[in-house]
């Protein structure tokens, strides 16, 4: 995790055109400072994973509904393997490995660590059972408590940074537990609920869609250090934006229905070539989990089946659908740089973790409300590429982000399922353009 340093005295001439001074931002571009000691946050975050899994039976936790989605049980074990592999084995003297061959089962993609079960075969791992995974987690937690005591006593910065990485990694998997189990439960014709909720609420008035002006200029982008960020958010650097307008909120379900009703899924002229091929191949007619029966739309949610709410942000769309919708609307998607600048200039304060934390985790986007922050990740028009001067971290953890910088698109923001304290304005989420099972939506932009 090397923080990039940028000189503020960057030349104010690009291509002979005089430009306004670079926009320089303050501390809000970094993650919130940790509000609790590392050991306390470790316990809280690890317990949250178990709380998410506790809603599920051992049978639920076993299933893998597609190669991209992993069983809940696997997520619980893999996040423990991460701490065991990158913290306990190298840094806790005398650590006893829980099971020598678990690395074969629970290594995700780290070539430097060794061979592993193919991603698509994770659902075949009926053993170890859910109880043994719980014992594995408890074993790792006991050893991590000792390691964290040592870190605190020795002010061990490098180990503490690795613990931070392990905690943010676990938080990423907490969101994946929900996206993956939603896909699995939706595959059951009975559409069981992850968390039943019988509340029915009438559609509310949408906040008006307005346009935020981003003026032409040089802006600073990326993480500045001073708080946790993944290596792909570094180095902070300057970028030239040509000027644009960006929507104040994501696209609503009601607005997306107008695209469908206008033949959006039947008009190849709106689609990228690869996207249109997917429409034909997969028979896409609506976002994932939507169904139309006798002219009425319903959607599967983690609360079970529901009627569509027109005031919610549209969710479970691919990049291809986002781009087609934007073409239909006569707009485009923002670049990730435009998104970051808009969030910084108009987004207000990023919600503090305590404001974000609720008694029970949310499992569905809230209706759209006033304000920049909403409940779905937002596809940008930017390919997932290294920032200028990017360097992957040394060692096996260097495989965390850098090797995926091809064939994926960047999503910005956060979703309702993003854990408290995990997201930040510079966060770069990324998925392949056809992915629909994430909590992904659309924000529009246009040239100014």
Residue with Cβ nearer Fe ion (79 or 335) = 79
Residue with Cβ nearer Fe ion (113 or 277) = 113
By CB under 5 A, residue 108 contacts Fe ion? yes
CB of 85 to Fe ion, least distance (A): 11
CB of 241 to Fe ion, least distance (A): 33
Residue with Cβ nearer Fe ion (61 or 108) = 108
Residue with Cβ nearer Fe ion (14 or 104) = 104
What would the x/- binding string for Fe ion be over residues 379 to 398, using CB under 5 A? Answer: --------------------
Contact 390, 234 (CB under 8 A): yes
Tokens 């639920």 sit on residue: 60
CB of 80 to Fe ion, least distance (A): 11
By CB under 5 A, residue 401 contacts Fe ion? no
Choose one: 105-113, 122-130, 230-238, 253-261; the region binding Fe ion (CB under 5 A): 105-113
CB of 173 to Fe ion, least distance (A): 6
Residue nearest to Fe ion (CB): 108
Residue with Cβ nearer Fe ion (139 or 169) = 169
C-beta neighbour count of 392 within 10 angstroms: 18
Q: Report the alpha-carbon distance of residue 322 to residue 251 in Å, rounded.
A: 10
CB of 333 to Fe ion, least distance (A): 27
Choose one: 83-91, 107-115, 146-154, 419-427; the region binding Fe ion (CB under 5 A): 107-115
CB of 52 to Fe ion, least distance (A): 15
CB of 195 to Fe ion, least distance (A): 24
Helices (H) and strands (E) in the chain, counts: 12, 14
Q: Which residues, 6+ apart, have CB-to-CB distance to 344 below 8 Å?
A: 25, 28, 29, 425
What would the x/- binding string for Fe ion be over residues 328 to 367, using CB under 5 A? Answer: ----------------------------------------
What would the x/- binding string for Fe ion be over residues 55 to 94, using CB under 5 A? Answer: ----------------------------------------
Residue with Cβ nearer Fe ion (85 or 248) = 85
CB of 109 to Fe ion, least distance (A): 8
Choose one: 101-109, 301-309, 383-391, 414-422; the region binding Fe ion (CB under 5 A): 101-109
By CB under 5 A, residue 29 contacts Fe ion? no
Q: What is the 3-state secondary structure (H, E, C) of 274-332?
A: HHHHHHHHHCCCCCCCEEEECCEEEEEECCEEEECCCCCECCCCCHHHHHHHHHHCCCE
Residue with Cβ nearer Fe ion (170 or 233) = 170
Q: Report the alpha-carbon distance of residue 205 to residue 224 in Å, rounded.
A: 39
Choose one: 100-108, 217-225, 271-279, 290-298; the region binding Fe ion (CB under 5 A): 100-108
Q: What does the DSSP 8-state code read for residue 23?
A: B
**Helices (DSSP H) in 130-288: which residue ranges?**
130-154, 157-186, 253-261, 273-282
Q: Report the alpha-carbon distance of residue 294 to residue 271 in Å, rounded.
A: 27
Please state the length of the chain.
Answer: 448
**Helices (DSSP H) in 207-272: which residue ranges?**
253-261
Q: What does the DSSP 8-state code read for residue 77?
A: H
How far from 264 is each of 125, 247, 271, CA to CA, in Å?
41, 21, 9
What would the x/- binding string for Fe ion be over residues 273 to 302, using CB under 5 A? Answer: ------------------------------
Q: Which residues, 6+ apart, have CB-to-CB distance to 2 below 8 Å?
A: 231, 234, 235, 391, 393
CB of 75 to Fe ion, least distance (A): 8
- Angle between the 38-54 and 130-154 helix axes, to the nearest 10 degrees? 170
Residue with Cβ nearer Fe ion (108 or 335) = 108
Residue with Cβ nearer Fe ion (108 or 171) = 108
Two tokens, residue 61:
């936790």
Q: Report the alpha-carbon distance of residue 347 to residue 243 in Å, rounded.
A: 18
CB of 400 to Fe ion, least distance (A): 8
Contact 412, 336 (CB under 8 A): yes
Per rule CB under 5 A, count of chain residues that contact Fe ion: 1
Q: Which residues, 6+ apart, have CB-to-CB distance to 423 below 8 Å?
A: 350, 413, 414
CB of 78 to Fe ion, least distance (A): 6
Coil vs helix vs strand at 17: strand
Q: What does the DSSP 8-state code read for residue 209?
A: P
Choose one: 104-112, 201-209, 303-311, 370-378; the region binding Fe ion (CB under 5 A): 104-112
Choose one: 102-110, 273-281, 317-325, 327-335; the region binding Fe ion (CB under 5 A): 102-110
Binding site for Fe ion (CB under 5 A): 108
């Amino acid at each position: 995790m090397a923080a990039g340093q940028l000189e503020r005295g960057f030349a104010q001439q690009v291509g002979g055109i005089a430009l306004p001074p670079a926009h320089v931002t303050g501390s809000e571009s970094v993650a919130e400072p940790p509000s609790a000691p590392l050991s306390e946050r470790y316990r809280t975050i690890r317990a949250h994973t178990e709380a998410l899994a506790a809603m599920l039976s051992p049978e639920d936790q076993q299933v893998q509904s597609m190669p991209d989605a992993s069983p809940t049980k696997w997520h619980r074990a893999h996040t423990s393997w991460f701490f065991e592999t990158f913290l306990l084995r190298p840094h806790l003297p005398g650590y006893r490995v829980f099971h020598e061959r678990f690395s074969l089962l629970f290594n995700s993609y780290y070539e430097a660590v060794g061979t592993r079960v193919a991603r698509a075969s994770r659902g075949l791992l009926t053993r170890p059972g859910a109880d043994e995974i719980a014992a594995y987690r408890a074993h790792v937690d006991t050893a991590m408590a000792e390691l964290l005591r040592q870190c605190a006593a020795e002010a061990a910065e490098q180990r503490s940074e690795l613990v931070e990485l392990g905690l943010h990694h676990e938080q990423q998997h907490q969101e994946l537990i929900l996206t993956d189990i939603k896909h699995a439960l939706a595959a059951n014709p009975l559409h069981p609920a992850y968390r039943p909720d019988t509340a029915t609420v009438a559609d509310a008035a949408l906040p008006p869609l307005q346009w935020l002006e981003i003026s032409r200029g040089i802006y600073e982008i990326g993480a500045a250090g001073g708080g946790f960020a993944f290596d792909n958010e570094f180095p902070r650097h300057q970028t030239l934006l040509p000027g644009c307008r960006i929507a104040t909120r994501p696209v609503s379900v009601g607005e997306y229905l107008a695209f469908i009703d206008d033949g959006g899924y039947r008009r190849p002229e709106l689609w990228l070539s690869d996207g249109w091929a997917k429409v034909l191949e997969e028979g896409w007619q609506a976002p994932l989990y939507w169904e139309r029966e006798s002219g009425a739309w319903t959607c599967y949610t983690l609360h079970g089946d529901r009627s569509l709410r027109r005031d919610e942000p549209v969710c479970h769309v691919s990049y291809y659908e986002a781009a087609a919708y934007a073409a239909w609307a006569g707009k485009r998607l923002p670049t990730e740089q435009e998104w970051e600048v808009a969030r910084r200039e108009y987004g207000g304060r990023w919600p503090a973790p305590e404001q974000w934390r609720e008694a029970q985790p949310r499992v569905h986007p809230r209706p759209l409300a006033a304000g920049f922050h909403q409940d779905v990740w937002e596809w940008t028009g930017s390919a997932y590429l290294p920032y200028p001067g990017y360097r992957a971290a040394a060692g096996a953890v260097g495989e965390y982000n850098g090797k995926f910088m091809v064939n994926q698109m960047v999503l910005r923001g956060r979703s309702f399922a993003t854990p408290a304290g995990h997201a930040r304005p510079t966060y770069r989420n990324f998925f392949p353009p056809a992915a629909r099972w994430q909590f992904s939506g659309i924000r529009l932009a246009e040239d100014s």
